[in-house]
Amino acid sequence: MSIKKEFLKGLVEKNPVMVLGIGLCPALAVTTSVSNALWMMIATTFVLTCSNVLVSLVKDYIPSHIRIPVFITIIAAFVTVVEITLKAYQPEVYTSLGIFIPLIVVNCIILGRAEEFASRNGVFISIIDALGMGIGFGLTLTILAFFRETLGANKLFGYTLIPGFKPAGMMAIAPGAFITLGLMLWAMNRIMVSRKHKK
Amino acid sequence: MKDIIKPAAVLAAVTFCASLLLATVFAVTKERIAFLDSEAEKNALAIVLPGYSITGTAKTKDNKIYWVGEKTENGETINGFAFISESPGYSGTIRCMIGVDSNMNILGISILKQTETPGLGARSVEIASKNTFWDVITGSAVDEGIQFPWFQQQFAGLNGNKTVQVVKNGDWTPEMASDLVSQNAVSAITGATITSKAVVDCIHKGISEYNDIIKNSNK
Amino acid sequence: MFNPSFKGGVHPPENKKLTEERSIENLSVPHTCFVPVQQHIGKPAIPVVQVGDYVQVGQLIAKADGFISSNIHASIPGKIASITNGPTPASASGLRIQIETHGNFASEKTPDKIEWDKLPPKDLLEKVFDAGIAGMGGASFPTHVKLSPPSNVKIDVLIINAAECEPYLTVDDALIKRSYKEIIEGIMITRTILGVKNVIIGVESNKKRSYKTIKEYLKKIGEKNIKIPMLKTKYPQGAEKQLIYSLTHRTVPSGGLPMEVGTVVQNIGTCFAIQQAVCYGTPLFERLVTVSGSLINKPGNYKIRIGTTIADIIRECGGLKEQPHKIVMGGPMCGQAVETTDIPIVKGTSGLLFLSKEESSAGRYANCIRCGRCVQACPINLLPFEIAANIEISRPECTERFSPLDCIQCGACSFICPSRRPVSHFVKVAQDYIRSKR
Amino acid sequence: MEIKLFITILFSTIFINNYVLSQTLGICPFLGVSKKTDSAAGMGFAVIFVMTLASVITYFIYKYILIPFSITYLRTIAFILVIASIVQLVEMAINKLSPSLYRALGIFLPLITTNCAVLGVAVLNVDSGFITKEFGLLMTIVQGFGAGVGFLLALMLMSGIRERLETADIPFNLRGMPISFIIAGLLSLAFLGFAGMSF
Amino acid sequence: MDQQIYTLSLAPHTKNRQNLPVVMWLVVLSLLPSTVFAVYTFGMHVLLVILTAIFSACAAEYLFRLLLKRELTIFNGSAAITGLLLAMNLPPMVPLWIPAVGSVFGIIIAKELFGGLGHNIFNPALVGRAFLMASWPALMTTKWITFPNGTMFSSSFNAYSVLPQPALDALTGATPLAALKNVPALANSFNVHSQYNIYQTLFDISNFKALAIGNIGGCIGETSALLLLTGALLLLFTRIINWRIPFSYIATFALLIFAYYKLTGFFMPYHALVYHLLSGGLILGAFFMATDMVTSPVTGKGMLVFGAGCGLLTFAIRIWGGYPEGVSYSILLMNAAVPLIDKYCVPKIFGKRKQA
């Protein structure tokens, strides 16, 4: 019961992008294509899980006033692991995600979960939390990327969707990202409100 | 005293462990990354200096690297040169590798880095697959073989001493090629004139920068 | 083109044509008068008559209560019928002294003119006080208070307000045309009381005939210290601070009085009343009122006894063409709409307008489109639309940074608004909120 | 000639490739601190200061420590620790030297650590190859400063608009975050006018 | 006794005759001459473009308000003006879905989401145009009409037949501003080593005539300087627009353009100045779009600052930018700054003492 709850909360009720409003920079920047969004999800979830595990393991040995630098160091290490690995085995993903791979370090989701959850809970439940949060983050990115790739480039996974349709190029660049996310948040708010009314 | 030493020690230990981990990962992947880099360079050089064998690199006065290649044609050895140049595009810098012969005729270009709008400026490096998403998921996709972006292809054969003109004729087709070469022009990517011009600028910049060096090295 | 003026302001349709050419007529004396005891700013006067007493015209019926207050005199001869509460311009239920006509008018003889220039200023001021004169422009500030500035204040200019910037109203214009000599004399008396030399009369450029009349008369009598520049026709040219600025380029500080910049402003009607009071001892019991608007049958400038009800005036002016949408006391820009026709005329009533729906209704208002016209129009340089926007969404606490208290309620912003928003009303709400909090 | 280059870099980082509006970096503080113009100005100036300082320090670290020892893969971890300590030190220094400045900027300084635009500018300095170029130090300074100014500009525009919208009749579910994204999108659409500018 | 109760309300009891619908219809009226002229010169397709834009703008506003159960404001005419202004900023031969999509985006994203008329920050018509520019730049920059027998270029080009045919085609196929921007490149690539000839051709007196009258390539509503100025006079005369914004916009722009050409040693600075002033959307922008009440400052000082900012940005984009024309982007950018301008250009309150 509790495991299910901890996992699901990251998807909906505490969705990092849609509800907590964190991790926005990658959400806006890398969602030009669904495959970018999925790779971002994998990279972030990996870092999140690893850092959550390590933080919950060492939490008792760290003096509380230096915990933030320690957490950052741990996170930065895992980010670099991801960076190097992608560079070696997925060079195309490495180029298209670009600067946003090192910037996973400053994604507030990761530091936030380390601080708020992993440093207070056991290893197993921390993994569940990380997976839930990572997938919740990734899911939002994927939906956003779906709209942006289909409308902005008439493509899905790099392949043309409807021949002859002229895509709105704006969706593929920054303004499209902002506006689409804004409209998604609006839709989300409406759904949440009508749900509350039903309850 | 203990208040300082313990945290410092913990922090040092964590940093040390992290560095150790990274060093290991780096050591494992080092060769592969180096291989990928050289491969990328080789590929680019093969495009911009087609048929030339690379004889080595040289440096300009301000430490910029350029490549020298040669090939034998009709019993004569011809030199080719390749260099890298940059110019601001629609969003962010565009980096190109440009190959020229000693008369500054462009042999080929390769865009190494760009962050242009997908679907518009980014088409300068994209090869549009004729297969649609539905073809792919229904398994009816056709293998199209290795292709080269038409935008970059147009530059081969242009005269680098003269200004390369950007014309808006709609997207490039092979039929347009001879006409464009006679005008010393390239056809802009539809809707991405800024990107197209930026690439041309990039080439002009590079050629003017290396013009003297290459002429001198020829003598 | 380059007539002196102030920044901002609006040009409402003048509508003065209705009454401009009408000379002053006496309205027949009504059968009953209701004289309110509060006709001025300050404390209400205290009645000094009993029900059943008989009074003569001009007899004191209520005495000023303190310094900032005014005497009230009987406007018709007769019997005090009642002293009860009823509707007055100042409030829906204020104390009114009802006089019913009784006796004759024969006793109303014009006394001989006294030679005022032999009297000391203090006696002159006494006469003004006795006559119960309060500003005739609309605000009704007791005149004797204005004329006795504290000794540490140096007054160097007397400004006479004949701008009459409100649409419809033509009383000042008509008065100048008829009694310019008396007015100039009144100005001289006022000047003597204040002990200043320089006088500036402000007349708007749309009253060319009055302007000429005064100018020529001044030339004739060789008076050099009374100047009369022609002001640009613009509302609210007659607002005190704006008038001072237009004529002297002095800026009365926010929340301050004209005397802080060495000026005193008197309405031209007040000057006439002062002359009457000082020279003939006539107290203020009647005044000039412009009765106008598209729905009254006989518009004109009438001399009306104070205390005459609107109902009587309607009857005397030939009745109404149809039921008016609004009855306004004062000018259309900052006058007051009244609910019933039982309300009497008071010392400060300069106009009485019977307006049709087309003339006066704003209809429903729309969103603010930020055209900035209220900002351009505001003579105080406020941002009225910001105050209105905050009031509209019930955030009066956010209006304080826009200083609504500086607003003079001229109504220019509401007038000019293309979205028909009651901007000045919103500003009033903000003012009330901030005042109530202090 | 060099001056022109610096102007180009400065102009490009402020307008053409504005960190917030076209590269979608630093979105969290951009949305978080843009409710009031006063705090937006405070945050903006703090970011300019920290970005310029971080650019300089990471330049030296990268050029004189990471490159000579061939440990450039430690870039992310080194930069984030440096930035975190700079922020900490600056906070302490300002507190000591000028309490009035501290009152104005102090509360924003801790927020800057997680501002991905700061790490972003350090990483981009490396990525654009400034480190090895002639006048590299000046270029990094100009880029760091320009990025900060661009951030301040975007933040000020945003906060002005949001202050004005306080009285606007925005659909209820759209208030707050969603409309802010829409505004950001429209701002970024307007900034497209600078695209392709060159001198 | 009269028992009638009369309407009570606060002063004032009279109202300005110029209310919202009057304002809106006067704006439409002032745009009418150039609209009619555009239909006359560019053909009936333009009429369809204009009608599509207006219809979809109104429909978008109506449906959005209907769906969100908000007060229907469709009759105040502002949506129609948005549609009309958008259409005037489009090339004549765009496919009809372009104005439709642009209007819908402009109205919904830039206006209705912010709460409708009066609350929007950005000019909806310009947002619509910027959206179309970012999304379908190809359609937005190639669908011009050229006049084979019109005044622009043809007669003057005959006099300078040194130019090769492709250069002529390149010049006449573009808008006046694009042609101006292309001169150096053209000169280089067609071996006309001096740019002198091309500039002289462009700055021929017959071209200035064409620019003033409007038989020239360009967006639907921007070509005829004279008719636009006629409409602008009507608006200035009825005090719907304030002189400050157009004045400071055009003055700043003219000053900068002139200074630029003079300082760079250009040989025909006066001609270049006039050419810049008459061509492109400068007049349309300065009088009809920058002056949009909702999205421009409210204070006099603010208006001057706003206009100057627009002028500076237009100058920068035209001279250094990636696009030949910069009017719509500069107005859009300055729209974003309006709240700040309003905040810092508050007039001094009359008689307010300085805070001690």
pLDDT of E334 reads: 96
pLDDT of C48 reads: 92
Q: Provide the β-strand partners of residue B97.
A: B84, B110
Average pLDDT over residues A44-60: 92
- pLDDT interval class at C290 (50, 70, 90): very high
B184–E137 C-beta distance less than 8 A: no
pLDDT of E192 reads: 58
pLDDT of C175 reads: 92
Average pLDDT over residues A94-108: 88
Q: Is the pLDDT of residue E174 over 80?
A: no
pLDDT averaged over every residue in chain E: 86
pLDDT of E2 reads: 47
- pLDDT interval class at E52 (50, 70, 90): very high
pLDDT of B217 reads: 67
E9–C337 C-beta distance less than 8 A: yes
Q: What's chain E's length in residues?
A: 356
D182–A179 C-beta distance less than 8 A: yes
Please report where in the chains the tokens 């004189």 appear, as a residue.
Answer: D64
Closest CA relative to residue B11, chosen from E89, A58, A85: A58
Residue C392 sits at the chain D interface (C-beta within 8 Å): yes
- pLDDT interval class at E254 (50, 70, 90): very high
B120–E137 C-beta distance less than 8 A: yes
> Are chains A and E touching, using the cut-off of 8 Å on CB pairs and a minimum of 3 such pairs?
yes
Domains of chain C with bracketed CATH? 118-280 (3.40.50.11540), 373-437 (no CATH)
> Are chains D and E touching, using the cut-off of 8 Å on CB pairs and a minimum of 3 such pairs?
yes
Average pLDDT over residues C224-249: 90
Contact list in A for residue B189 (CB cut-off 8 A) is none
Name the phi and psi angles at B193, rounded to 5.
Answer: -60, -35
Count CA atoms within 13 Å of residue A140 on its CB side: 34
Residue E131 sits at the chain A interface (C-beta within 8 Å): yes
Which residue from B26, B87, B91 is facing D17, i.e. has the nearest CB? B91
Residue D134 sits at the chain C interface (C-beta within 8 Å): no
How close is the nearest chain E Cα to the Cα of C254, in Å? 5
User: Which residues of chain D from 78 to 97 reach within 8 Å of chain B, CB to CB?
Assistant: 81
pLDDT of C109 reads: 65
pLDDT of E296 reads: 93
Chains in contact with D via at least 3 Cβ–Cβ pairs below 8 Å: A, B, C, E
Contact list in E for residue B165 (CB cut-off 8 A) is 185-186, 188-189
C390–D169 C-beta distance less than 8 A: no
Q: Which of A152-161, C33-42, D110-119 ranks highest by mean pLDDT?
A: C33-42
B141-191 pLDDT, tens digit each:
777 766 778 888 888 888 888 778 787 766 777 777 787 887 788 888 877
Please report where in the chains the tokens 């009314």 appear, as a residue.
Answer: A197
Query: Using CA atoms, how far apart are residues D178 and E113, in angstroms rounded to an integer?
Result: 10
Q: Is the pLDDT of residue E167 over 70?
A: no
E109–A169 C-beta distance less than 8 A: no
Q: Is the pLDDT of residue A40 over 50?
A: yes
B33–A159 C-beta distance less than 8 A: no
> Are chains C and B touching, using the cut-off of 8 Å on CB pairs and a minimum of 3 such pairs?
no
A182–D180 C-beta distance less than 8 A: yes
C392–D167 C-beta distance less than 8 A: yes
Query: Using CA atoms, how far apart are residues C141 and C322, in angstroms rounded to an integer?
Result: 35
E131–D157 C-beta distance less than 8 A: no
By the 10 Å C-beta count (0-12 exposed, 13-18 middle, 19+ buried), B156 is classed as middle
pLDDT of C1 reads: 45
Q: Which residue has the higher pLDDT, C65 or E248?
A: E248
Q: Is the distance from CB of C27 to CB of C287 less than 8 angstroms? A: no
Q: Is the pLDDT of residue A175 over 90?
A: yes
D93-105 pLDDT, tens digit each:
888 887 877 777 6
E106-157 pLDDT, tens digit each:
999 999 999 988 899 999 999 999 999 999 988 888 788 766 555 555 555 5
Domain count, chain A: 1
B128–A76 C-beta distance less than 8 A: no
pLDDT averaged over every residue in chain A: 89
Query: Using CA atoms, how far apart are residues E346 and E9, in angstroms rounded to an integer?
Result: 30
User: Which residues of chain E from 182 to 201 reach within 8 Å of chain C, CB to CB?
Assistant: none
Q: Helix E44-67 crosses helix E20-42 at what angle (to 10 degrees)?
A: 150
pLDDT of E356 reads: 40
Cα nearest neighbour of D168 on chain C: C389
Contact list in D for residue C367 (CB cut-off 8 A) is 169
- pLDDT interval class at A179 (50, 70, 90): very high
pLDDT of E1 reads: 41
E279-338 pLDDT, tens digit each:
888 999 999 999 999 999 999 999 999 999 999 999 999 999 888 888 999 999 999 999
D149-197 pLDDT, tens digit each:
999 999 999 999 999 998 888 998 999 899 999 999 999 999 999 987 8
| H or E segment to which residue A67 belongs | helix A67-89
Residues 6+ apart with CB under 8 A from E77: E20, E21, E24, E25, E28
Considering chain E, what percentage of its residues have pLDDT values greater than 70? 88
Contact list in B for residue A167 (CB cut-off 8 A) is 119
Helix (H, G, I), strand (E, B) or coil at E148: coil
Work out whether the CA dihedral E218, E221, E226, E228 comes out positive or negative.
negative
Q: Is the distance from CB of B132 to CB of A159 less than 8 angstroms? A: yes
Cα nearest neighbour of A108 on chain D: D114
Q: Is the pLDDT of residue A128 over 70?
A: yes
Q: Which residue has the higher pLDDT, E154 or C270?
A: C270
Considering chain A, what percentage of its residues have pLDDT values greater than 70? 99
D50-83 pLDDT, tens digit each:
999 999 999 999 999 998 988 888 888 899 988 8
Average pLDDT over residues E65-86: 88
pLDDT of B101 reads: 85
Query: Using CA atoms, how far apart are residues D96 and D83, in angstroms rounded to an integer?
Result: 20
Q: Is the pLDDT of residue B219 over 50?
A: no
B192-205 pLDDT, tens digit each:
888 888 898 888 88
Contact list in B for residue A158 (CB cut-off 8 A) is 129
Residue D172 sits at the chain E interface (C-beta within 8 Å): no
Structural domain spans, chain B:
48-217
Residues 6+ apart with CB under 8 A from E151: E206, E207, E209, E210, E213, E215, E216
Query: Number of D:E CB contacts under 8 A?
Result: 96
Query: Number of A:D CB contacts under 8 A?
Result: 121
E135–A169 C-beta distance less than 8 A: yes
First-to-last alpha carbon distance for chain D, in angstroms, is 11
Which residue from B22, B91, B201 is facing D195, i.e. has the nearest CB? B91
Average pLDDT over residues C377-397: 91
What ipTM describes this predicted complex? 0.89
Residue C367 sits at the chain D interface (C-beta within 8 Å): yes
- pLDDT interval class at A85 (50, 70, 90): very high
Query: Using CA atoms, how far apart are residues D21 and D29, in angstroms rounded to an integer?
Result: 13
- pLDDT interval class at E159 (50, 70, 90): low
Which residue from B62, B194, B201 is facing D134, i.e. has the nearest CB? B62
Q: Which of A80-89, B38-47, E193-202 ranks highest by mean pLDDT?
A: A80-89
pLDDT of E289 reads: 94
Structural domain of A12: 3-198
